[in-house]
């Protein structure tokens, strides 16, 4: 396999929305020895991971000294509403204030309850803790939720009420309990509550994932540390990740950025990862991924959830190789946001689909609408628990799809429905019992020969049918398939360039096609359009990207070449760029951050400083004067960060301590311990 020392072989795995990627790396030599891609199996991530490990064909499992994984599992579970049920206990929060500003939608759970208690800005008790009310509520809901999250007002300054609540809850039920102050020392009460609720909802999800990876390792005799990528690109132990899964939000895109930097050796660049489902942007500055100052945000069923978790500054857009290509009502091309299985892939697995497409081409164009290119197919047999509550229409739909993939118009006819909404399929799609297939950029790559692992002929037939209904540039119905391909790639370029400009400028810009740049009075759409196409007879505006683009993902070259040209910069496609996210899973450093707060101890009326509190997550000490309080806080922060980094698998970690004033004579001592992962 390689002449490098056995103790330097590491295995990196990234589970993306479409593909699971793996890489075997000689760690000290920084050399990629083997790579593998496999389709992600969302209903059971372990299947894709098993396929990747088998494909790499590790000759000597004892030579593997570390396994590290990055995953979109947490982000996807939140976005799709598939986290576990959580009860959020809010201690000392003002219900009227929350309602007036409509903040309840940010809590990431509909099950939230208010209780008396909490502390003020100086750690003083606002009201006596309502333990009786908490216990009564636990007894009501313990059989209806999967976990409990507790967030008390100003708990980073005094976690007493959270700790007392935890002790009381643990006596009456065995549900996992998450405490807000253990996840964040930030004083933002809503963000801390959201973080606690999300963490509680993800505990079982990520623990199952880690168990699956561990079992895959054990079956192959791999005995090595297992690390997980955080949302900021650093690594943490699997034990820590199982306790704080919320920190894996944006893990996958962060790993892509780290991998892009590792493979390209560039210190400053824009990393653009083109996957099957999304395109993710991250900025590398001075060799480091730029971190968001405001904490990670993630979309969910009720909107955007803002957390107190540190993560890379990222932008993800719904554009990828498997984005669904459709026609909007006005006849214009639309790409995404929905991801579907490429028709070339479906036809390769189900030959009957290819026969149907051949027959479709022979029909009159009026009888072969693009609706006939959307296929539904059965992904798995539904569990009995689902069938017990399923509607008659859902059962009939499953029965129909047992005969093989069917185009939507055929399903409507078979089930005597007039509209897809009547098929009652939303939950079947959400639980991935049935899937969708359709025309995608991946199909166009098959037609053009740039990427053709599946049924090329079926992709061409689908494009031909679709092109019959695309309006010609000069008017009238029907376009040449080659011209349609060009228009799709033009729209892809517009969407990607628009995302890059929006991401780097922080300015809102109307999406491509939303306005007519020649007729709209605003300057921005006009400037954007003519910068991309240079079509003005007298003026040549230019938007120039000052750093190169590092392309990540298998379709990056085709997707990003025109984008780099439009932004007047270079496109760098490093060797193994198609699996750079898996490289990033093992190329990051182990980092543990600890914060200790110092704030004044006041007299009863709050006018005289009697001393200072030094507050860690578990304990609070009283110190008479500020200087020794800061010194003690610095020592505690350093020791706790160093110990945490060593326990998390860092080799010879280095500690950096910084002091920050929060105003009102309050100080935040932050220690970061960072080192390369310890290989064993």
What single string gives the DSSP state of each residue in 537-603? SS-------SSPEEEESTTHHHHHHHHHHHTT--EE--TTGGGHHHHHHHHSPEEEEEEEEEEEEE-
Ranges of beta strands (E only) in 50-153 are: 64-71, 86-91, 111-115, 147-152
Q: Is residue 249 part of a domain?
A: yes
Cα angle, residue 48 at apex, residues 46 and 54 outer, rounded to 5°: 100
Residue in the structure block whose two tokens are 């072969």: 368
115 lies in some domain:
yes
Q: Does the residue 506 lie in any domain?
A: no
pLDDT at 474 over 80: no
Whether residue 379 is found in the same domain as residue 350 = yes
- Asked whether residue 190 falls in the same domain as residue 243, the answer is no
- Of 550 and 367, the structure prediction assigns the larger pLDDT to 550
The answer as to whether 531 is a domain residue is no
My answer on whether 100 and 75 are in the same domain is: no
Burial 366-385 (b: 16+ CB within 10 A, else e): eebbbebbbbbbbbeebeee
| Mean pLDDT (whole number) for 185-211 | 92
Look-up: residue for tokens 């009995």? 384
Q: What is the mean pLDDT of residues 519-545?
A: 82
Over residues 436-440, mean pLDDT: 96
Digit-coded pLDDT (tens) for 347-357: 999 999 999 99
Q: Kindly tell me if the per-residue pLDDT of 547 is higher than 70.
A: yes
Residue 358 in tokens: 């051949």
Check residue 521 and give its pLDDT.
62
Give the CA diameter of the chain: 89
Beta-carbon neighbour count of residue 500 at 10 Å?
25
Q: Report pLDDT for 400.
A: 94
Query: Which residues on neighbouring strands pair with residue 566, listed in sequence order?
Result: none
Angle at 445 between CA 40 and CA 377, to 5 degrees: 45
Q: Taking all residues of the chain, what is their mean pLDDT, rounded to a whole number?
A: 90
Stretch among 127-136, 204-213, 344-353, 602-611 having the lowest mean pLDDT = 602-611
Same domain, residue pair 185 and 218:
no
**Per-residue model confidence as pLDDT tens digits over 106-127:** 899 999 999 999 999 899 999 9
Identify whether residues 175 and 242 lie together within a single domain. no
Q: Do 175 and 52 share a domain, yes or no?
A: no
86 confidence band (pLDDT: 50, 70, 90): very high
Within a domain: residue 325? no
Contacts of residue 16, Cβ cutoff 8 Å, sequence gap at least 6: 40, 72, 252, 275, 276, 277, 581
Range with the poorest average pLDDT among 147-161, 532-546, 577-591: 532-546
Q: Is the pLDDT of residue 7 over 60?
A: no
pLDDT digits (tens, 9 = 90+) for 586-603: 999 999 999 999 999 998
Average pLDDT over residues 41-66: 86
Please give the tally of structural domains in the chain. 4
- The CATH code of the domain that includes 306 is 3.30.420.40
Out of 163, 183, 202, a domain closes at 202
Rounded Cα distance, 546 and 284, in Å: 13
Q: How confident is the model at residue 57 (pLDDT cuts 50, 70, 90)?
A: confident
The answer to the question of residue 516 being in a domain is no
Q: Which domain holds residue 60?
A: 6-79+205-312+581-587
pLDDT tens for 127-146 read 999 999 999 999 999 999 99
pLDDT of residue 513: 64
Top mean pLDDT of 65-74, 265-274, 316-325 is at: 265-274
Residues 82, 206 contacting (CB under 8 angstroms)? no
User: In whole angstroms, what separates CA 366 from the centre of its chain?
Assistant: 41
How do residues 618-637 score in pLDDT, each as one tens digit?
889 999 999 999 999 999 99
pLDDT at 518: 64
How far apart CA 314 and CA 80 sit, in angstroms, is: 19
Q: Where are the beta strands (DSSP E) in 277-397?
A: 279-285, 288-289, 297-300, 303-306, 314-317, 323-327, 333-339, 341-342, 375-378
Which value, to the nearest 10 degrees, does the dihedral of the CA atoms of residues 20, 25, 28, 30 take? -90
Q: Which of 559, 587, 615 marks a domain boundary?
A: 587
Summarize pLDDT for 287-300 with one digit per residue, the tens: 889 988 777 878 77
679 pLDDT tier (thresholds 50, 70, 90): confident
Query: In the numeric block, which tokens belong to residue 36?
Result: 């593998």
pLDDT at 111: 96
What are the tokens at 547? Answer: 């750093």
* Cβ(83)–Cβ(202) below 8 Å: yes
Predicted structure pTM score: 0.84
Asked if 226 and 68 count as a contact pair (C-beta separation under 8 A), the reply is: yes
């Amino acid at each position: 396999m390689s002449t490098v020392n056995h103790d330097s072989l590491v295995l990196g795995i990234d589970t993306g929305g479409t593909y699971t990627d793996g890489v075997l790396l000689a760690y000290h030599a920084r050399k990629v020895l083997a790579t593998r891609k496999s389709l992600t199996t969302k209903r059971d991530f372990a299947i894709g991971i098993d396929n990747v490990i088998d494909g790499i064909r590790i000759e000597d499992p004892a030579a593997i000294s570390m396994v590290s994984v990055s995953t979109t599992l947490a982000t996807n579970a939140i976005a799709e509403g598939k986290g576990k049920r959580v009860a959020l206990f809010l201690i000392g929060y003002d219900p009227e204030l929350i309602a007036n500003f409509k903040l309840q939608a940010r809590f990431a759970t509909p099950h939230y309850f208010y209780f008396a208690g909490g502390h003020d800005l100086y750690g003083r008790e606002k009201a006596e803790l309502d333990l009786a009310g908490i216990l009564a509520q636990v007894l009501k809901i313990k059989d209806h939720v999967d976990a409990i999250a507790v967030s008390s007002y100003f708990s980073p300054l005094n976690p007493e009420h959270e700790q007392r609540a935890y002790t009381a809850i643990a006596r009456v039920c065995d549900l996992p309990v998450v405490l807000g102050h253990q996840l964040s020392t930030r004083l933002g009460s809503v963000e801390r509550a959201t973080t606690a609720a999300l963490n509680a909802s993800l505990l079982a999800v990520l623990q199952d994932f880690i168990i699956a990876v561990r079992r895959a390792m054990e079956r192959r005799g791999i005995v090595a540390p297992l690390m997980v990528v955080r949302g900021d690109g650093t690594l943490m132990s699997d034990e820590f990740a199982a306790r704080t899964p919320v920190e894996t939000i944006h893990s996958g895109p962060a790993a892509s950025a780290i991998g892009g930097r590792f493979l390209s050796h560039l210190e400053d660049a824009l990393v653009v990862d083109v996957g099957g489902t999304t395109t993710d942007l991250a900025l590398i500055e001075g060799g480091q991924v730029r971190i968001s100052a405001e904490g990670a945000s993630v979309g969910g069923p009720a909107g955007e959830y803002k957390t107190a978790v540190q993560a890379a500054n990222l932008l993800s857009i719904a554009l990828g190789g498997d984005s669904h290509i459709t026609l909007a009502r006005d006849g214009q091309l639309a790409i995404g946001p929905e991801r579907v299985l490429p028709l070339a892939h479906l036809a390769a697995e189900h030959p009957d689909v290819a026969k149907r497409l051949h027959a479709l081409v022979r029909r009159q164009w009026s009888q072969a609408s693009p609706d006939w290119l959307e296929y539904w197919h059965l992904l798995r047999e539904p569990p009995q628990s689902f069938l017990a509550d399923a509607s008659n229409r859902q059962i009939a739909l499953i029965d129909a799809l047992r005969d093989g993939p069917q185009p939507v118009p055929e399903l409507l006819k078979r089930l005597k429905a007039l509209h897809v909404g009547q098929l009652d399929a939303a939950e079947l799609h959400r639980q991935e019992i049935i899937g969708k297939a359709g025309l995608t950029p991946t199909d166009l790559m098959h037609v053009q020969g740039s990427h053709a692992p599946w049924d090329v002929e079926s992709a061409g037939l689908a494009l031909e049918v679709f092109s019959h209904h695309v309006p010609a540039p000069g008017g009238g119905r029907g376009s040449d398939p080659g011209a349609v391909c060009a228009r799709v790639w033009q729209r892809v370029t517009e969407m990607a360039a628009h995302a890059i400009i929006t991401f780097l400028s922080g300015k809102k810009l109307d999406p491509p096609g939303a306005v007519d740049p020649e007729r709209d009075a605003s300057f921005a759409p006009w400037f954007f359009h003519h910068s991309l196409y240079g079509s003005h007879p007298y003026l040549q505006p230019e938007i120039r990207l000052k750093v190169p683009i590092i392309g990540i993902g298998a379709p990056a070259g085709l997707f990003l070449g025109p984008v780099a040209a439009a932004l007047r910069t270079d496109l760098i496609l490093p060797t193994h760029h198609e699996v750079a996210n898996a490289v990033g899973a093992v190329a990051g450093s182990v980092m543990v951050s600890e914060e200790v707060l110092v704030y004044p101890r006041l007299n009863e009326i709050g006018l005289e400083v009697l001393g200072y509190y030094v507050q860690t997550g578990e304990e609070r000490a009283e110190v008479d004067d500020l200087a020794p309080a800061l010194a003690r806080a610095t020592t505690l922060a350093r020791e706790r960060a160093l110990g945490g980094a060593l326990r998390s698998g860092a080799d010879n970690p280095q500690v950096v301590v910084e002091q920050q004033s929060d105003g009102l004579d309050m100080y935040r001592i932050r220690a970061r311990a960072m080192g390369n992962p310890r290989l064993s």
